[in-house]
């Protein structure tokens, strides 16, 4: 279903020969058939952002998009003026097929950094995708497959609002850091919303979801999240409900990224409570989520709380005031660290579930935040030592 779950959208996913994997679907097209063409986007803050990010950030700025074309098999990042021209050419091709202007077409790319795309294949693929456009379930599924790289499964979401729908797809498995942990994501809705509401909902939704997951602390050059609204349901969405649903869609997709993190054998939820502020809680959660040593311990089924508190200890006091001797840590419900020291025995913790819950109470206030990460495994190293090298 994915992006075609919402009315007013057609999609396609085709094999264009861009990916090094023979026959893999590697080009997706998502078209907003209207009546509205409202859109919003958030993008990587990376200073080496890719050509398609530079292009898409510009064209979505006015709050409108007619379509998005996405490819795997090449990031078109660090490719200079020639790379930028490839994004422009791609947008122009899609625009001519749809009878609109290039300014209405967003472009997303993912794959190896530093190489130009095989543009002829992208343009031929755009024609094939255009010919395959359909608003059915299979078309949405095809699109969600076409954006996968090291992902082992497609990641999609479908939600029902009051009289309208939200659908979405995301790709992402490695190079996932909290700002902005996504790679590529397209969320569609048939609700009738203004560009302002779309922007507000997407910004708020990503800040507590995609910005709070961390597979490997590595920020991508290509991260893009787009929200497209067709208005095809004819229903004006209640702003609060709509924002809540967009956040829920983002949360579902972010959780699926963690569930498919490169080589991961455990999904780790880190919740920090008792913080002086949400920012303090978030800083502590992110510090713990970034610890390679902890992530290795978890992969070895070791609830090593020493590696949790030593990570907490790196957060400056002005960012997160707390007293080390008041901190408690529970892993999977067992309080193995109390008053900043040893609590119940680590052997009491059941580490067999894939999901591991780390609950940290700073006992320094009422604010809290949750971040997600993955464990660090042999398989992660294997994937990233050998990826298209």
Q: Does 196 count as an annotated binding residue?
A: no
* Pure H helices in the chain: 51-59, 80-98, 119-132, 137-146, 195-207, 239-259, 278-289, 292-299, 305-312, 378-386
Q: Given candidates 33, 57, 63, 78, which one binds its own copies under the rule CB under 8 A?
A: 78
Rounded Cα gap, residues 377 and 103, in angstroms: 43
3-state secondary structure (DSSP) of residue 150: coil
| 332 in a known ligand binding site | no
Only one of the segments 24-32, 60-68, 78-86, 226-234 lies at the binding site for its own copies (rule: CB under 8 A); that segment is: 78-86
Using CB under 8 A, which residues numbered 20 to 39 contact its own copies? none
Tell me if 312 contacts its own copies by CB under 8 A: yes
Residue among 44, 79, 90, 182 flagged as catalytic? 182
104-143 residues near its own copies, rule: CB under 8 A: 112-115
Sheet holding 38-43, edge to edge: 38-43, 224-229, 184-189, 165-171, 155-160
Instruction: Answer yes or no whether residue 378 interacts with its own copies by CB under 8 A.
Output: yes
Please give the angle made by the CA atoms of 85, 80 and 13, to the nearest 5 degrees: 55
Tell whether 262 is in a known binding site: yes
Shortest spacing between CB 52 and its own copies, in angstroms? 15
Q: Are strands 367-374 and 267-275 parallel, antiparallel or unpaired?
A: antiparallel
Q: Which of 299, 360, 364, 368 binds its own copies (CB under 8 A)?
A: 299
CB of 10 to its own copies, least distance (A): 33
Of residues 168-187, those binding its own copies (CB under 8 A): 174-175, 177, 179
What region does 3 belong to: left with phi over 0, alpha with psi -120 to 50, or beta? alpha
Check: CB of residue 41 under 8 Å from CB of residue 225. yes
Assess whether 221 carries a catalytic annotation: no
One of 325, 350, 355, 366 touching its own copies (CB under 8 A): 325
User: For its own copies, how many residues bind (rule: CB under 8 A)?
Assistant: 66
For residues 245 and 249, give the distance between their C-alpha atoms in angstroms, rounded to a whole number.
6
Residue 389 annotated as lining a ligand binding site: yes
C-alpha–C-alpha distance, residues 306 and 294, integer Å: 9
Residue from 252, 301, 326, 332 in contact with its own copies (CB under 8 A): 301
CB count in 10 Å sphere of residue 354:
11
Q: Is 153 in the site for its own copies (CB under 8 A)?
A: no
Token representation of residue 363? 């006992």
Q: Which helix (H) or strand (E) holds 301?
A: none
Helices (H), 229-368: 239-259, 278-289, 292-299, 305-312
CA distance 220 to 211: 13
Nearer to its own copies, 46 or 277 (CB): 46
Site residues for its own copies, 177-236, by CB under 8 A, read: 177, 179, 216-221
Which ranges of 154-238 would DSSP assign to H, the alpha helix? 195-207
User: Which range of residues in 8-16, 124-132, 233-241, 287-295 is near its own copies by CB under 8 A?
Assistant: 287-295
Give 297: exposed, middle or buried? Use CB within 10 Å, 0-12, 13-18, 19+: buried
Residue from 131, 292, 333, 366 in contact with its own copies (CB under 8 A): 292
CB nearer its own copies, residue 147 or residue 180 = 180
Minimum distance of its own copies from residue 183's CB (angstroms): 12
The answer to the question of whether 149 is labelled as a binding residue is yes
Q: Does 115 count as an annotated binding residue?
A: no
Asked if 385 is part of the footprint of its own copies (rule: CB under 8 A), the reply reads yes
- Using CB under 8 A as the binding rule, whether residue 341 contacts its own copies is answered as yes
Residues serving a catalytic function are 182
Q: Which residues contribute to the annotated binding site? A: 149, 171, 182, 262, 384, 389
Query: Which residues of this protein are in contact with its own copies, per CB under 8 A?
Result: 45-49, 75, 77-80, 83, 112-115, 174-175, 177, 179, 216-221, 290-293, 296-297, 299-302, 304-307, 309-315, 317, 324-325, 337, 339-342, 376-378, 380-387, 389
Q: Which residues contribute to the annotated binding site for substrate? A: 149, 171, 182, 262, 384, 389
């Amino acid at each position: 279903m994915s992006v075609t779950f919402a009315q007013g959208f057609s999609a396609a996913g085709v094999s264009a020969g861009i990916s090094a994997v023979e026959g893999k679907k590697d080009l997706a097209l998502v078209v907003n058939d209207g009546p509205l063409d409202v859109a919003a986007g958030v993008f990587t803050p990376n200073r080496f952002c890719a050509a398609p990010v530079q292009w898409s950030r510009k064209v979505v700025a006015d709050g409108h998009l007619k379509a998005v074309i996405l490819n795997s098999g090449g990031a078109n990042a660090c490719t200079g003026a020639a790379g930028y021209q490839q994004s422009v050419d791609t947008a122009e091709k899609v625009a001519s097929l749809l009878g609109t202007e290039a300014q209405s077409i967003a472009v997303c790319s993912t794959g190896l950094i530093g190489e130009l795309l095989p543009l002829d294949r992208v343009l031929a693929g755009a024609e094939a995708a255009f010919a395959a456009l359909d608003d059915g379930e299979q078309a949405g599924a095809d699109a969600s497959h076409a954006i996968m790289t090291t992902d082992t499964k497609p990641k999609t979401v479908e939600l029902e609002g009051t009289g309208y729908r939200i659908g979405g797809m995301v790709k992402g498995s490695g190079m996932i850091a909290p700002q902005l942990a996504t790679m590529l994501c397209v969320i569609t809705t048939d609700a009738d919303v203004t560009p302002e509401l779309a922007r507000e909902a997407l910004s708020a939704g990503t800040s507590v979801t995609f910005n709070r997951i961390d597979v490997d602390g590595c920020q991508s050059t290509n991260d893009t999240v787009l929200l497209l609204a067709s208005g095809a349901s004819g229903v004006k969405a209640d702003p609060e409900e709509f924002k809540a649903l967009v956040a829920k869609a983002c949360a579902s997709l972010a959780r699926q990224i963690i569930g498919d993190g490169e080589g991961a054998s455990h999904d780790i939820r880190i919740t920090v409570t008792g913080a002086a502020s949400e920012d303090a809680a978030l800083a502590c959660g992110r510090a713990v989520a970034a610890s390679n040593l902890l992530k290795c311990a978890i992969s070895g089924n070791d609830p090593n709380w020493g590696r949790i508190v030593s990570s907490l200890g790196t957060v400056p006091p002005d960012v997160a005031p707390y007293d080390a001797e008041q901190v408690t840590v529970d892993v999977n419900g067992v309080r193995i660290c109390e008053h900043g020291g040893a609590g119940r025995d680590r052997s009491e913790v059941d580490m067999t579930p894939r999901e591991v819950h780390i609950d940290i109470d700073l006992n320094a206030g009422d604010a809290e935040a949750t971040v997600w990460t993955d464990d660090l495994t042999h398989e992660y190293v294997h994937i990233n030592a050998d990826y298209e090298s």
